[in-house]
Chains A and B, each alone.
Chain A
């Protein structure tokens, strides 16, 4: 059985269905959860960035388990344990890490365009809001479209990250990667990086 995880809203509540998943015991799995007329969904590590929420749980899925583009689906599932290392602090750190990836991309593009001064200025801020402020200035001042685009992505990603909106910061980062590398596949590569960031932070391993 492949390992699977599921993001839930506070209190083990399914974010879209609004139903509460039954709690596992201290050393035993929770009861099987089989929502009437619906299937249950969970993530492989690579799927995690698509479904961020407040709580992360390890789940067991009942066979037959099918793999979709960005999730697993099964007739029923049960919670095994909460991944305690995924908390508000982890979510904030994730958003910041994604925003800093955008900064690296923006700095690279500005350097390519011969705009070393702007690139250097983007490298200085240590605070997300200050980074967003500096980037916003370049998003309108940069003379070439790509540099301005990247600065715009950076301003938005850093702002969202500073607000604790890690999922949005990450999505912006994936779009920024497409703009920077000029390849649609860069989106999925950035999502992979994000997935492994979460796995490293929380100690998850895909079997």
Chain B
């Protein structure tokens, strides 16, 4: 990870931006910085790959297919998200 150039971007920032990146919601300058980071960073590239796989897998699921206990567990996680953050 480098920091000498002011336009450099850190891994943590990349992780925060990836959802917007995948939705095409980033402005061009931010997207370019993020992509330039991905060229250098195998860790973030792998994270992006896994995110794409997860999105692809969950897209095939419907709410009705979700078992009740999984639904309850997920809702519990979401409800306590802020408390644990």
Chain A residues within CB distance 8 Å of chain B: 15-16, 18, 37-38, 50-53, 68-71, 165, 167-168, 171-172, 174-175, 178-179, 184, 187
Within the complex, the shortest CB–CB distance from B10 to chain A, in Å, comes to 14
**Which A residues are in CB contact (< 8 Å) with B3?**
175
Please encode chain B, from 18 to 49, with 1 for each CB lying within 8 Å of some chain A CB and 0 for all others: 00000010001000100110111110000000
Asked whether B2 is an interface residue with its Cβ less than 8 Å from the other chain, the reply is yes
User: Which residues of chain A are near B32, meaning CB under 8 Å?
Assistant: 68-71
B39 touches A50 (CB 8 A): yes
Verify if B82 is at the interface (C-beta below 8 Å from A).
no
Cα distance A69–B28 in the bound complex, in angstroms: 11
Q: Which residues of chain B have C-beta atoms less than 8 A from A175's C-beta?
A: 2-5
Interface status of B52 (Cβ within 8 A of chain A) = yes
Task: Tell me the complex Cα distance, A7–B2, Å.
Answer: 22
Q: Which residue of B lies closest to A177 (CB)?
A: B4
Of all chain B residues, the one with the shortest Cβ separation from A179 is B4
Q: How far is the CA of A53 from the CA of B40 in the complex (A)?
A: 10
Contact of A168 with B40 at beta-carbon distance under 8 Å, contacts A16-B35, A18-B52, A70-B32 already known: yes
Residues of B near A179 (CB, < 8 A) are 4
Report, nearest first, the 7 A-B pairs whose CB atoms are least far apart: A175-B4, A175-B2, A178-B4, A168-B40, A167-B39, A16-B35, A171-B40
Q: A70-B32, A172-B2, A178-B4 are in contact. Are A37 and B40 (CB under 8 A)?
A: no
Scoring B2, B36, B42 by chain A CB atoms within 10 A of each residue's CB, the highest score goes to B2
CB of B21, distance to nearest CB on chain A (Å): 8
